[in-house]
A = this chain, B = another copy of it.
Amino acid sequence: MAHEQHAELIKALHDCAAACNHCFDACLQEEDVKMMVGCIRLDRECADICSYLEHAITRNSPFVSELAAVCAAICEACGTECQKHDHDHCQKCAEACFKCAEACRSVA
């Protein structure tokens, strides 16, 4: 089963989507929102593609590896932006993004 074979990737995608969505929400509540606009934009991109790919894996999509390559690039970009910021939600998000990027590359 696709979703058993890819259990680790599914977990990484799930955690990354949740971390990005939480970071999106928390960034919008920060005092200095102006500084977080790159984060807000990339959090949405990254949460959306991780959720999409997780969904695609569980339905046994024939395009998992192509989607994983794009997802890795988006996770990498989001992690790179998030790690610039000291907020706890940004640091946790960056960590989840880099872990997910690596998991994606392993199937891309």
Which A residues have a C-beta under 8 Å from some C-beta of B?
Answer: 1-3, 10, 14, 17-18, 21-22, 24-25, 28-29, 33-34, 37, 40-42, 44-45, 47-49, 51-52, 54-56, 58-63, 66-67, 69-70, 73-74, 77
Contact = CB atoms under 8 A, between A and B. Distances in A.
Given A44-B44, A73-B66, A60 B2 contact: no
Given A22-B3, A34-B34, A63 B44 contact: no
Question: What's the number of copies of this chain in the assembled complex?
Answer: 4
Contacts of A60: 21-22, 25
The 9 residue pairs across chains A and B that have the minimum distance between CB atoms: A21-B58, A21-B59, A25-B60, A18-B58, A66-B70, A28-B37, A33-B33, A33-B34, A51-B55
Contacts of A67: 70
